Amino acid sequence: MKQKIIVIGAGFAGIQFVRKLDEKLFDILLIDKINHHQFQPLFYQVATSQIEPSSISFPIRHIFKNKSNVRIRLATLRSIDAPNRKITTSIGDFEYDYLVIATGCKTNFFGNKEIETHAFSLKSTYNSITIRNHILQTFEKILSASENEKEGLFNLVIVGAGPTGVELAGAFAEIKKNILPKDYPRIDFSQFKIILIEGSKFTLSNMSDNARKTSKKYLEKMGATILTEVFVKNYDGHLLTLSNQSTIKTETVIWAAGVIGETIPGIPVENIARGNRIIVDRMNKSKFNDTVFAVGDIAYMETPKYPNGHPQVANVAINQAINLAKNMNRLQKGKKTKLFEYKDMGSLATIGRNKAVVDFPFVKFKGYFAWLIWMFLHLMLILSVRNKLIIFINWALEYVTKDTSLRLILTDSEKK
């Protein structure tokens, strides 16, 4: 008899886990709040009008159209009843033999509700479209704004100088130089400021010293303003207050300063690590119940190589999911399981056209070749061949023309 597995979340971990399970051994119920898998590393390119949302969004039902053992439901997880092997969702209760939590993480606003209300986050395709709409509408407003109003409209603030923040800042700097002046020839873009705020000493603080220095140098050369060792204390939608008591007038704050897991009722408090991550063993099994597992960003696993948990990146999520799926296949066949061991293949970030930094274990480099490597590796992670081709063609055209035609404001004009 097949075992019933419920998987919560269709991100990198959830998708790979379901793909690698033996369909002869398991019946799978995949639950997510949205009907598509989202390619998070390229959200910033949607937000900056470089690629279309459909290029990085993949309908879940299409992904598993040939998997007869996979059922899909759109729902939100409400709670877990581990002793009775049951979950409660927004559409009802479901029983399971095994539960795999792959919900990823949400934006961490560090408890500041006012910032959460007024700042933009970048954790979904929808967020990306919202930012794109807002940025384009901002320049439409500038055309008719008073001089007093223009200062806040001209200041774009990005909080957090990790890969997302750095890539956003670089992309906005490029469209400021190459694209927006053509669309809005009557706007003085020398007044448009891209301000990147980071609490630590460096941009890309989790990468090598070479990557830190290079990314900062690239961004400053591209015209971005970088403020380090300073924190955002508050933002009311118009005025940003910093820890050094200075303020910035701005109508646009994009928050890329960290992530935190969703709180899930039913998981004991003692089984939650910092960042609301679920504590698991080397098999990704939870410490509180043998039938509950967690993979990806939501999982906290300590190993000799990673005594403080693994980095919350796509490669960790994918590899944990594959290892867990193979182990579940092995268990059903009476074979020995394997502990998870992550081999760090390196980190990389792009800052703009011909500008990227790559940290591989054996070599670190920057510039044009690093940029090509970044593009190639991201294309390989895209799920479908069709989407790989679409994105590649789009990137090639943009490289040649230094332009795109994707600057659409997609809102309901009747609600203005």
Instruction: Write the DSSP string, 315-383.
Output: HHHHHHHHHHHHHHHHHHTTPPP---------EEEEEETTEEEEE-SS-EEESHHHHHHHHHHHHHHSS
Query: First-to-last CA distance in the chain?
Result: 57
The per-residue pLDDT for range 141-156, each reduced to its tens digit, is 999 999 899 999 999 9
pLDDT band at 416 (very low <50, low <70, confident <90, very high): low
Element (H, E) at 77: strand 77-81
> What does the pLDDT read at residue 390?
86
Q: In this predicted structure, what is the pLDDT of residue 239?
A: 97
Q: What pLDDT, on a 0 to 100 scale, did the predictor assign at position 401?
A: 72
Inform me whether the pLDDT recorded for 135 exceeds 70: yes
Q: Are 296 and 12 in contact (CB under 8 A)?
A: yes
- Domains in the chain (CATH in brackets) are 3-105+261-332 (3.50.50.60), 106-258 (3.50.50.100)
**Order of strands across the sheet that contains 77-81:** 77-81, 86-89, 92-95
Q: What is the pLDDT of residue 384?
A: 80
Task: Give me the mean pLDDT over the 389-401 stretch.
Answer: 82
The pair of three-digit structure tokens given for residue 322, joined into one six-digit string:
């594959």
Does residue 70 contact residue 28 with C-beta atoms inside 8 Å? yes
Residue located via tokens 């670190």: 364
Q: What is the pLDDT of residue 396?
A: 84
Please answer whether residues 2 and 27 qualify as being in contact, where contact means their C-beta atoms are separated by less than 8 angstroms: yes
Confidence label for 414 from pLDDT (cuts 50, 70 and 90): low
Residues in Cβ contact with 380 at an 8 Å cutoff, skipping those fewer than 6 apart? 388
- Percent of the chain at pLDDT > 90 equals 85
pLDDT for 353 beyond 70 = yes
Residue 385 pLDDT grade (very low, low, confident, very high; cuts 50, 70, 90)? confident
Task: State the CB neighbour count (10 A cutoff) for residue 1.
Answer: 6
Ranges 48-52, 77-81, 314-318, 400-404: which has the least confidence:
400-404
Which are the contacts of 95, defined by CB distance < 8 A and separation ≥ 6? 4, 84, 85, 86
Res 415 pLDDT > 70 = no
Positive or negative: CA dihedral 348, 349, 350, 354? negative
What is the DSSP secondary-structure string of 20-65?
HS-TTTEEEEEEESSSEEE-GGGHHHHHTTSS-GGGGEEEHHHHTT
Helix pair 125-142, 147-154: axis angle to 10 deg: 150
pLDDT in tens, 205-257: 999 999 999 999 999 999 999 999 999 999 999 999 999 999 999 999 999 99
Share in percent of the chain as helix, strand, coil (round to 5): 40, 25, 35
- Average pLDDT for the chain: 93
pLDDT score at 206: 92
Cα 204 from Cα 312, distance rounded (Å): 14
**Among 205, 204, 24, 32, residue whose Cα is nearest residue 103:** 32
Instruction: Report the predicted TM-score, pTM, of the whole model to 2 decimal places.
Output: 0.93
Q: How confident is the model at residue 403 (pLDDT cuts 50, 70, 90)?
A: low
Q: Name the band, by pLDDT with cuts 50, 70 and 90, for residue 394.
A: confident
Residue 21's pLDDT band (cuts 50, 70, 90): very high
Average pLDDT over residues 65-70: 94
- Residue 412: its pLDDT value, please? 65
